[in-house]
Amino acid sequence: MRRLSLVPDRSPGPGPRIRLAIASASGRALDAHFGSAKKFVVYEVSGTDSQFVEVIDFTDTSDESGEHGASADDRIGAKIEALQGCQLLLVLAIGAPVAAKVVKAGIHPIKVATSESVSAVVDKVQSMIAGSPPPWLRKLLAPKTERCLSITDLEDES
């Protein structure tokens, strides 16, 4: 695994932000399944701006044959570990067992039906944040302390 990161030349804009990972074969588009992704392009996105964070490059990828080698779990685990800090993962496909591992790591996976450029994906996420975000995105944007209800919150409602 290799990481290409840029040193930010500006401070992030105001408002809630989300760290987004995009599965890619080319590095220029959302065009890969989770297991076969050679790269993950990572951005921080708010309703008003977006900033490139890094590209995580994997050279050991699946051949999409559906067969798992002895190192398949190690490869998946390494990818999930590399995505720590991301809240949202966009892929063309991801198997249910792997999606469960991704969710357990605190990352929300989203399957996208067709390949799109990275810039188009970032623009769509930015528009969703700026507009009326769906409930799952509002939850991801909320501060960590507000993401779960406590038992006292439930008692106050009665």
Q: What 3 state SS string does the chain have?
A: CEEEECCCCCCCCCCCCEEEEEEECCCCEECCCCCCCCEEEEEEECCCCEEEEEEEECCCCCCCCCCCCCCHHHHHHHHHHHCCCCCEEEECCCCHHHHHHHHHCCCEEEECCCCEEHHHHHHHHHHHHHCCCCHHHHHHHCCHHHCCCCHHHHHHHC
Parse the chain into domains and list their residue ranges: 2-157
Name 77's bridge partners: none
CA atoms within 13 A on the CB side of 156: 5
pLDDT at 59: 74
List the structure tokens of 141: 């944007």
How far is residue 28's CA from residue 77's CA, in Å, rounded to a whole number? 24
Beta pairing, strands 18-24 & 39-45? antiparallel
Its pTM stands at: 0.79
CATH no., domain 2-157:
3.30.420.130
pLDDT at 121: 97
How far is residue 126's CA from residue 46's CA, in Å, rounded to a whole number? 6
- Give me the tens of pLDDT residue by residue for the chain, a chain 158 residues long: 877 776 666 665 667 899 999 999 999 999 999 999 999 999 999 999 999 999 999 875 555 555 555 455 578 999 999 999 999 999 999 999 999 999 999 999 999 999 999 999 999 999 999 998 999 899 988 876 554 544 444 444 44
